[in-house]
Amino acid sequence: MEQREQPIGVFDSGLGGISVLRACTALLPQEDFLFFGDSANAPYGEKSLAQVRRLTIAAVDRLLAQGVKAVVVACNTATSAAIHLLRQAHPDLPIIGIEPAVKPAALDVGSSSVIVMATPLTIREDKYQKLAAAFCHEANVISLPCPGLAEMVEGGLFDGPVLDGYLQDLFLPFRYCSVDYIVLGCTHYPFVRRAIARNFGQPVAIIDGSEGTARQLRRQLDAQGLLSQRQRPGTVTFQNSRPDKLTMSHTLFHMDF
Ligand code: DGL
């Protein structure tokens, strides 16, 4: 098969990356996608850096063994831990990572306070700390680690009193603050966007990095002459280290969120 007609591999620690996959398929409907979720090892965001690096490298190797022409690391945590190692190991492969959408939020005119929700590991890592520092003159960037939240989404909790209670506690310190943006810095969080909006308790713009990542994927494929030339609609194939998560993968792919 010609290289440009090979599938695009998309990877996440679990199901969250399906929010990015959706943006990619919307922008590149003629491409074939192979999504691998490592739900057996989720959540990555509360593991050590060394563990996340090892798991991410193994997941990307698994996609490469199936002949993908590009890899989207649809996980902020894995991106911050391992994207540079992946690029070193595969210099010719388009590898697209995701990072919290701090830039568009901070640069939006009139935005003065931006909360970034992400996993503890993403927030701890240097990559995110540098990103937040780069925009600290444009906005007050508040980093909010959310231990346990990706796990709830992974477990299919998109609504209900447990999630509401978690979010209300999380947002308590901001009750009397004026906040312009919430950045969803973990690919699991878009699936609970409505619960986040409701429990924040004041009107706030909520953004994530999935569309920016999809655009970056298209740019890189185009630059390398790797865009599919087929006219037919592409396919989406799901794989998961926990086969019992495959049904849920399809549900999330079609979910309205
Ligand atoms: N979806 C991942 C991210 O974007 C992390 C979830 C996890 O902790 O496994 O950061």
State if residue 76 touches ligand 1 by the CB under 6 angstroms criterion.
yes
Are 153 and 167 part of one and the same domain? yes
pLDDT in tens, 227-246: 999 999 999 999 999 999 99
Question: What is the model's pTM?
Answer: 0.97
Are 11 and 48 part of one and the same domain? yes
Per-residue pLDDT at 76: 98
| Active site (annotated) includes residue 75 | yes
Give me the percent of the chain exceeding a pLDDT of 70. Answer: 100
Per-residue pLDDT at 77: 97
pLDDT in tens, 8-52: 999 999 999 999 999 999 999 999 999 999 999 999 999 999 999
| Active site (annotated) includes residue 136 | no
Are 215 and 204 part of one and the same domain? no
Report the CATH number at residue 42: 3.40.50.1860
Are 214 and 93 part of one and the same domain? yes
Q: What total number of domains does the chain contain?
A: 2
Are 214 and 202 part of one and the same domain? no
Are 89 and 124 part of one and the same domain? no
Contact present, 86 and 57 (Cβ < 8 Å): yes
Long-range own/partner contacts, residues 202-205 (CB < 8 A, 24 or more apart): 202/178, 204/179, 204/180, 205/105, 205/108, 205/111, 205/180, 205/181
Please give the residue range of the domain that contains residue 107. 102-208
Burial per residue of 41-80, b for 16 or more beta-carbon CB atoms within 10 angstroms, e otherwise = bbbbbbbeeeebbebbbebbebbeeeebbbbbbbbbbbbb
Are 138 and 232 part of one and the same domain? no
Amino acid found at 93:
L
State if residue 13 touches ligand 1 by the CB under 6 angstroms criterion.
yes
Are 193 and 106 part of one and the same domain? yes
- Interval between CA 42 and ligand 1 midpoint (Å): 8
DSSP 173: G
Are 70 and 84 part of one and the same domain? yes
- Interval between CA 34 and ligand 1 midpoint (Å): 18
Are 108 and 127 part of one and the same domain? yes
Q: Which residues contact 4 (CB under 8 A, 6 or more apart)?
A: 69, 221, 225, 226, 227, 228, 229
Are 106 and 204 part of one and the same domain? yes
The three-state secondary structure class of 144 is strand
DSSP 89-125: H-TTS-EE-----HHHHHHSTT--EEEEEE-HHHHHS
Are 82 and 107 part of one and the same domain? no
State if residue 41 touches ligand 1 by the CB under 6 angstroms criterion.
no
